[in-house]
Amino acid sequence: MSIPVIGVPVTNSTFWVSRLLTSIDYPVDEVFIVNNNGRGELDEDLAKLASLKYKYIKKVKVANLPGNLGVSGAWNLIIKCYVMAPYWIICNDDVSFCPGFLEEMINTANSDEMIGMIHGNKGDYGVGSWDLFFIRESIVRQFGLFDENLYPAYCEDADMIMRFIHRPIKKVIELESQYYHGFGHKEEYYTHGSQTKKNEPELADKLEMSNQLNIDYLTEKWGANWRVQGPTNLPWEGDSMENNPRGDIRRISTTSFDLDFVRSKHLGF
C-alpha cells in the first residue's frame, strides 16, 4: 500500500527538496510541498520540480503561500489538507531518504496499529527527532494540532512531547535505516542542519530571538520544569486571568481540533 502523503515545508531554497524527491524509493500518492517563502522567490522552481516525473511518486503538489506560516502552521496545513489520511509523514526539506528507509517506516507502522509516532532518529534526549516523523491520526485525535503560537520555528516539537508525558503513547524513536540531514547522516544535524539560517544568514538573529520567546512561552504553558520533561499535568495549569495579561485566549486557541467532527463534514475533495 502506498504512502498517502509526505509533507515538506520549504522556506528559502529548492536545492534540498529536489534531492529529497529523487531519494524517494517507496510508492507515494502525493508529496505536498508547503512553500513558506511568501516572497515569490521559489514559485517557478518549485513548479518545475512538480512537473517532473518521479518513479515512486504519483503527484507532487505545491502550495505557494502569501506569507510564512511558520513550522507549526505548515505542519498543521499538511494535516488539514490531507485530513482523511490515516497518517502523515512530515519532514524537513533538507532530509533525503537512504534506500529502504521509507519501507522500514511503513512496515513498522503496519506491524502495530497502536504505534502513534515513528521517528527516524532518537535525537538528543532519546525522545525522537522531529526533522522526519510519522504521525498517526490517533495522535491528532487525542492531542490536537501543533501550537501555532510557537511561530515561526522552534519548540513546536517540545510542546507536543509535553502533551505525551502524562498521557504516554506508543512510539518508535529510531529506525535502523539511515537518512541524510543536509550533507550529513541523521545523527549529524547540528553540523549539517539549519539550512534556513545558512541560506539566509540575516534570519539568524530573528530566529534566535523567536527561539528564546518560544522557550519563555513554553515555561508559562507547562511550568518551569518542562525542559527536564517535568511539565504540569495540564497546560496553563498555574495560569490565571490575574497574571495573564492576554486573558484566557491561550487556553482555547492552542490545540483544539476535532478530527472526527471535521471528517464527518468532508466534501470529498
- What are the structural domains of the chain? 3-264 (3.90.550.10)
Q: What is the pLDDT of residue 188?
A: 73
Q: Give percent above pLDDT 90 in the chain.
A: 74
Half-sphere exposure of 228 (CA within 13 A, CB side): 2
Q: What is the pLDDT of residue 95?
A: 96
pTM beyond 0.85: the answer is: yes
Q: What is the pLDDT of residue 194?
A: 61
Ranges of residues in the chain with a pLDDT under 50 are 241, 246-247, 249, 252-253
Q: What is the pLDDT of residue 189?
A: 66
Q: What is the pLDDT of residue 69?
A: 94
Q: What is the pLDDT of residue 193?
A: 53
- Residue environment code for 94-130, b if the CB has 16+ CB neighbours within 10 A, otherwise e: bbbbbeebbebbbebbeeeeebbbbbbbbbeeebbbb
Rounded Cα distance between 138 and 136, Å, is: 5
Q: What is the pLDDT of residue 241?
A: 45
* Residue whose C-alpha cell is 538528543: 124
